[in-house]
Structure formats: C-alpha cells, structure tokens
Chains A and B, each alone.
Chain A
Amino acid sequence: MIEELLFIRQEVAPELIAGLWMSIQLIIPSAVCGLLIGIVIGTLRVYGSPGLKGFAGIYVLFFRGFPLLVQLYLWYFGLPRIGIYLSPFAASVIGFSLCSGAYQSEYIRGALQSIRKGQLLAAYSIGFSHTRAIFSILLPQAVRRALPGCGNELIYLIKYSSLAYMVTCIELTGKGSILANFHFKYLEIFIIVGAIYLLLVSVVSVGLNYLEDRIAVPGFDRPKI
C-alpha cells in the first residue's frame, strides 16, 4: 500500500500534473474563443443579413456535423498538404474553438429567439440602431438565458479536450495513457485521470452556478436546485 502511494507520488503525480496543466491551457482559450464565436454565429443566424445568415448556417452545419476527431486530423494532418503547418497545441485549440463555437451558437440562437419582439421595437422607438439594440438589449438577455446551456457545452469541452492527445498534444489523458502503458497499470491510472476530470468539472460547475447567481435579475430567475 505504502509502496503504491509512493509510486503514485513519485512517478504518476508529476506527470499527471504536467498533463493537467496542458489541459487547462487548452481548455481556457478554447472556451473563451468558442463562446465568442458562438455569440457571433448565433447572433448572425437570427439577425444577420441573408448572406451572413447563410454563412452562419453553413458554419454550424459543418463544425457540428464533422466528428471533432476528424476536424482535428484535418487541422493537424490535413493542412500541411496545402502548406500550413500547425503545432499540435494550435491545431487543438483551433479545432476545439471552432467546434465549441458551433454548439454555443445554438444556445445563443435559441435564447435570442425566445426574447419577445417588443424588446427590439422598444429599443428602436427610442432611437437605437439595429446593431446597438442587439448588443445592448438583446444579447445581455440572451446570454442570461443561454448560460445553463453554454455551461453545459463548457463542461463537455473539458472532456473532449482529451482528443488533443490524438494529434500528439500530450495533455492529461495523453500523459495518463503513456504512464499506463509504461507501468502497465491501466486501472489505477485511468481512475486517477478520470477523477481529475471529475474534479475539474465540479470546480467549473460551482463557478457556473456562482456566475448564474451573480448575473441573475428578477424575471430571469432560475429555480434553486
């Protein structure tokens, strides 16, 4: 038992912590870019000009339709064919952001469509431009409504970040696999890896709940769970 713990502390922990650090570096920019892409694409799908609406629709079709792993392969193994060489890290972040953006945009679209038309009319009636009305009146409401869904996507992102390993960006799952193969201790190491993801997801859930409370206003309340 002591031997096992020592093994974990000396051989496993440093490696997994390095992997976890890489995962976090992948997740944070992907989550931020994904949300921003989602807000832009979701807004264009509802309020864009016909051309932009079409573009946004096609964007969602492809980035939600292609399996993420295939997308990552295209970014990392496919692009060199046309002379573009991405690092494993860059290919992963780009792949995650674009894919996450497609999913996020659907939450934003749904939320925007659920806002009564009168909100827009009222903004126009006091002299708002279309764009300003969307940014100042509609999106602040839509983001509040979309937050539970967007948070769900963020949690999903945390877990699919493990696919970066497939394009040689060695993050938490990658480190785990290497260790498990090397020491031939699959059960122990993957339980630890899974528990780290669980911990990460739990921390993010608590953060999201806090954020939902912080930006809640009467009328956009959610039932307390």
Chain B
Amino acid sequence: MAEKVPVLSVQDVHKQFGDTPVLNGVSLDLFRGDIKVVIGPSGGGKSTLLHCINFLVKMDAGNIYLNDTRIDQSRKRELYAYRQKVGMIFQDFNLFDHLDALHNVMIGLVQVRKLPRSEARQRAEAELERVGLKDHMAKYPAELSGGQKQRVSIARALAMEPEVMLLDEPTSALDPELIGEVHEVIRAMAALGMTMLLVTHEIGFASTLAKEIYFMDGGRILEQGPPQKILFDAEQARTREFCSKIGRLNENSD
C-alpha cells in the first residue's frame, strides 16, 4: 500500500433495528483514489452501512475515521464538516423538490459553505456542466428524468468538494437507458481519482471500475477481493451462489 493512512476507515460497525441485527461488525478502509464496491443481497445491510458511515443512521457501536481523525457525532460542528467531506448519493436521488437543478447544487454552497451567491452560482453551474446538464439548470426535479436527477444529485455532492463519495445503489431506480448516463458520470469521477464506496447490483459495471469488491450478507462482509476473484472464483459458497445468479443477469451491461 503506497499510503499508510486511509482516507476513510470504518471500524467494527454494529447496528440493530429493534431486535433485528443489520450490521454485525463491519470494517473497511478506503485509501485515496480507491474505488471499492459492495455487493450482496437486499437486506444484507449495504444501505444501512453507508447511512451509518455518514451518521444518517445512528450506529450502535463502531468508529469512523476520516484521515485518521475519529469522528465524534455528538460534536455537531465536527459532524457537519465531516458530512461535507463525505458525499452521499441516494438510491432515490433525494433532490430538494422545491428548488430547480441550479439551486439544488447552490444551496449547500450558500447556506453551509457561506459562499457569496455569485460565486456559488458559478461553482454550481460548473458542476452541472460537468455532469452534462448545462441546458437543464432551470428545471425542477419533477421536470427531470431519473438519470438527470441522479446527475444533479452527484453535482450537488461534488460541489461540496468531498474527499470520499458514498454511492447507495445510484442506478437501481433507473431504467437501462438511463443507467448508462449515470455510469458515465461515475466513470468520469473515477478518472479524476475520486475515492468511492459504491453499493450496486450492476456487477458488470462494478467489476470494470472496482479495485476490490466486498460481498455482504447478514450484516457482515463475508468475503472481499479483486472483482475477478469474487465474481468467478469466490471461496465462500454463499458468495458463489449469489454471483452465479447476478453474473448471468449482467452479462450485457457495460
């Protein structure tokens, strides 16, 4: 490993919803420029893991470190600063419904970063241009396609200049045609060296991008390794069983 300190380190995260354990001690490290992908069956805890990492769901136990600094979520200022550094992309986009695309991207810059409006506008326009939405800046979420919405949400996260991006099934609410345009944007982020943790069912796409794949089930990382190993030569029977099914489904995806 070229760098010693991971950008983001997740250590032994536990989470229970009522009596149901969802995460049973999950640990992982992301080094600068790493792209790691989490796969696994629904209900396996993937989404909850990303929500815990961003403290959107309160974890029962475990620690998160950003550049070797432990995040204490009871210290609000620290938490808000941390969340700016860790961008989050949601499955269902979660654009602010009452704001047009431009203002969705601007609002964080103006209200959280306290940038002057003109500067925030410039930055927001540049981010939207980067995701190919220059001509859709004045449209409201209700007027955008799913793929466009997800690209706005990526622009919104990128505008905060995050060090890490967490992507929670960014394309699973999209039809096959729209998936491609979002994948393109994710690829562009990867090309710029963004550190990413991606939860997805798009295994074909993931395997071309990821350095390492985690297979998660029952609230644990059951197995991890390079894509080829996890997809075609997994050690665990459960991983093999899962991958044999999605392998076929994803044969034709990019």
Pick the interface stretch among B28-36, B95-103, B192-200, B241-249: B95-103
Residues of B within 8 A of A132 (CB): 111-112
Considering the complex, which residues of chain A in the window 99-149 have a beta carbon less than 8 Å from any beta carbon of chain B?
A: 116, 118-119, 121-129, 132, 136-137, 140-141, 144
Q: Is the CB of A119 within 8 A of B94?
A: yes
Partner of A122, one of B94, B98, B100, B142: B94
Q: Is the CB of A144 within 8 A of B108?
A: no
Q: Is the CB of B90 within 8 A of A122?
A: yes
Question: Do most interface residues of chain A lie in helix, strand or loop, or is the interface mixed?
Answer: helix
State the Cβ distance, A145 to closest chain B Cβ, in Å.
10
Assembly CA distance A136 to B160 (angstroms): 17
Assembly CA distance A144 to B140 (angstroms): 15
Is B203 positioned at the interface, with any CB of A under 8 Å from its CB? no
Partner of B108, one of A119, A128, A129, A140: A128
A136-B107, A219-B97, A220-B97 given as contacts; is B56 within 8 A of A129 (CB)?
no
Pairs A–B under 8 Å by Cβ, sample size 28? A119-B94, A119-B96, A119-B97, A121-B51, A122-B90, A124-B54, A124-B56, A124-B83, A125-B54, A125-B56, A125-B87, A126-B108, A126-B112, A126-B156, A126-B157, A127-B80, A127-B81, A127-B84, A127-B113, A128-B111, A128-B112, A129-B76, A132-B111, A136-B111, A218-B142, A219-B97, A219-B141, A220-B97
How extensive is the interface on chain A, given as a class?
Answer: 20 to 34
State the Cβ distance, B141 to closest chain A Cβ, in Å.
6
Q: Is the CB of A127 within 8 A of B83?
A: yes
Is A70 positioned at the interface, with any CB of B under 8 Å from its CB? no
Residues of A within 8 A of B129 (CB): none
Residues of A within 8 A of B111 (CB): 128, 132, 136
Assembly CA distance A118 to B55 (angstroms): 14
Chain B interfacial positions (CB closer than 8 Å to A): 51, 54-56, 76, 80-81, 83-84, 87-88, 90, 92, 94-98, 100, 107-108, 111-113, 139-143, 153, 156-157, 160
Additional A-B contact list (18), CB under 8 Å, known A126-B112, A136-B111, A137-B96: A118-B90, A119-B96, A122-B95, A122-B156, A124-B54, A125-B54, A125-B83, A126-B157, A127-B84, A127-B112, A127-B113, A128-B112, A129-B80, A132-B111, A132-B112, A137-B107, A217-B97, A217-B140
Residues of A within 8 A of B76 (CB): 129
Q: Is the CB of A140 within 8 A of B98?
A: yes
The closest CB in chain A to the CB of B110 belongs to: A136
Query: Which of A127, A132, A220 has the most chain B CB within a 10 Å cutoff?
Result: A127
State the Cβ distance, B116 to closest chain A Cβ, in Å.
17
Residues of A within 8 A of B84 (CB): 126-127
Q: Is the CB of A218 within 8 A of B143?
A: yes
Residues of A within 8 A of B157 (CB): 125-126
Assembly CA distance A124 to B87 (angstroms): 10
State the Cβ distance, B172 to closest chain A Cβ, in Å.
14
Q: Is the CB of A121 within 8 A of B94?
A: yes
Partner of A125, one of B88, B107, B113: B88
A136-B111, A219-B141, A219-B142 given as contacts; is B80 within 8 A of A128 (CB)?
yes
State the Cβ distance, A118 to closest chain B Cβ, in Å.
4
